[in-house]
Structure 1
Amino acid sequence: MQTLTTENFDATLEQSTLPVLVDFWAEWCPPCKVMDPILDQLQKELADRLLVAKINSDEHPQISARYRVLGLPTMLLFVGGEPALSIKGARSKRALMSQLEPHLVATAVG
């Protein structure tokens, strides 16, 4: 899973040919820790269709403010560098996949 910072956030989104799922998290957030293994699994299983990245909201508050992230965890899916989907709160892998899948199919390379 890629770690994002204020310095590499925009470049990562612009340079990715895949949709990018950005997990906004913080060290003090228990539901954020619950999402870690699920996001790790998604990164491994969907490596050819999705880039999963994390950004620490406490360390990079200007990015959180830019996208109006008010609660954690919040996951934003960026397609073509633009936000396409916002998922707030912890989710099961199945629930997360059901929300992501429509965006992944449209961008999958045959």
Structure 2
Amino acid sequence: MSLLMLDADSFQSGIREKQVTLVEFGAKWCPPCKVLLPHLEAMSTEEGERARLAQVDCDESPQLAAEFGIMSLPTVIIFHNGEPVEKLVGLRPKSVYQTALGRYIQ
């Protein structure tokens, strides 16, 4: 399962209102983002329907990056019931993302 690509037009519909969504804010040119993507794709397969994993290209959607205060790449924001609840800045081990996501999965 691959990550859902979101932009300004699809962002609100891409965030699950009643569940958990993890969104990676990154860019194609960003080396740490390239390292993170395979881990998030694996997590997407592991989580199945329990959580949605998505990404936003900050170069293509600068308004979303500004709206969520993205200052460093990659930044991962976890949304629960449509609201941002956790922000992880910089590249972290996969287990950190799994633990953070696990706090909100029912």
TM-score by length of 2: 0.92
SS in 2 for 1:59: coil
1:3 aligned partner: 5
* Superposed displacement of residue 100, structure 1: 2.0
Q: Give deviations 1:54-92, integer Å, cap 9, x for gaps.
A: 010011000010010110000000111110000111111
1:49 aligned partner: 50
Residues 1:76 and 2:77 aligned together: yes
Unmatched 5+ stretches in structure 1: none
Distance 1:99 1:20 in 2: 11
Distance 2:17 2:83 in 1: 11
Unmatched 5+ stretches in structure 2: none
1:95 aligned partner: 96
> Where in structure 2 are the equivalents of 1:4-19 lying within 5 Å?
4-13=6-15, 15-19=16-20
CA RMSD after TM alignment: 1.2
Distance 1:16 1:43 in 2: 18
Distance 2:38 2:30 in 1: 15
Identify the range of structure 1 (56-65 vs 86-95) with the bigger mean alpha-carbon deviation. 86-95
Amino acid at match of 2:9: E
Amino acid at match of 2:40: L
Paired residues, what number?
104
Amino acid at match of 2:28: E
> Looking at CA atoms only, which structure, 1 or 2, has the larger radius of gyration?
1
TM-score by length of 1: 0.88
